[in-house]
Amino acid sequence: MISHFKLPAMLLLQEIIMAALALGLLRAMRESPETAGLGRPASNVLQKGLASGWLLWLFAVVVGTLNIKFYVVLAREFHAQKLLGRLMSLDQRTDVAKVLSRLHSPVEFWSIVIVGTFLAPIAEEVLFRGFIYRFAQRYAGTVWAIAVSSLVFAAAHGGPIRFVPILLLGLVLGIVRRNTGSVWQGIIMHMTLNGIMFLMLFAEPNSLK
């Protein structure tokens, strides 16, 4: 039974360390909750976050589809189908569907879904749009803050094929951070995006095989 909790526990510990590190660094920088984007959430943040989260998912679907088509056309043009296959295999090592398909118990499965939908977005937004954004903003300005936090966000999320789509998602979340002065709407958007993606996996059983 304990082995069923091993992977979820590791993921949970990873998210806790990520958030704790970001908060500790922000404290070391002597940032207030407001300048760090962690001040009191707006009263309508939940509604705005859910609505814009659906739009973010639609954006992710369109960008992801165009990205794959671009690589397929590029590989065909330069006769590099084998190289494309290798690059896609690198992405699949961190693919959520592949990870879930290797789980052996419902407890393990649903634990990862909960961590991925609710806890990961909190930890990641606090790190990328909290600490990294604020650090870059302090020393290089807001434009660089959006760019740097998005680049690090994309680099941390998988292989080369998915880099550009995730970079664009990071840019959107960075712009939301700039416009709202807070990470809270981005957290709700991120939760909504991840939650919809898990629902899509459930709706397509073959993706979990």
Q: pTM here? A: 0.90
Mean pLDDT of the chain: 88
In the block, which residue shows the tokens 């705005």? 48
Of 28, 18, 12, 49, the closest CA to residue 123 belongs to 18
What integer pLDDT is reported at residue 80 of this predicted model?
79
State both tokens at 100.
């879930």
112: how many CB neighbours lie within 10 A of its CB? 20
SS3 string, 67-112, reads: HHHHHHHHHHHCCCHHHHHHHHHHHHCCCHHHHHHCCCCHHHHHHH
Give the residue with greater pLDDT, 111 vs 87.
Answer: 111
Query: What is the pLDDT, as a whole number, of residue 2?
Result: 46
Write the pLDDT tens digit of every residue in 76-102.
888 777 876 776 665 655 566 666 666
Q: What is the pLDDT of residue 1?
A: 47
Instruction: Provide the percentage of residues in the chain whose pLDDT is more than 90.
Output: 63
| Confidence tier at 129 by pLDDT (50, 70, 90) | very high
Characterize 189-208 residue by residue with b for buried, 16 or more Cβ atoms within 10 angstroms of its Cβ, and e for exposed. bbbbbbbbbbeebeeeeeeb
Q: Kindly state the average pLDDT of the residues 165-169.
A: 96
Is the Cβ–Cβ distance between 112 and 103 less than 8 Å? yes
Residue 71 corresponds to which tokens in the numbers above?
Answer: 């690589």
- Return the axis-axis angle of helices 163-180 and 184-203, rounded to nearest 10°: 140
Specify whether the CB–CB gap between 19 and 123 falls below 8 A.
Answer: yes
* Mean pLDDT computed over 157-173: 91
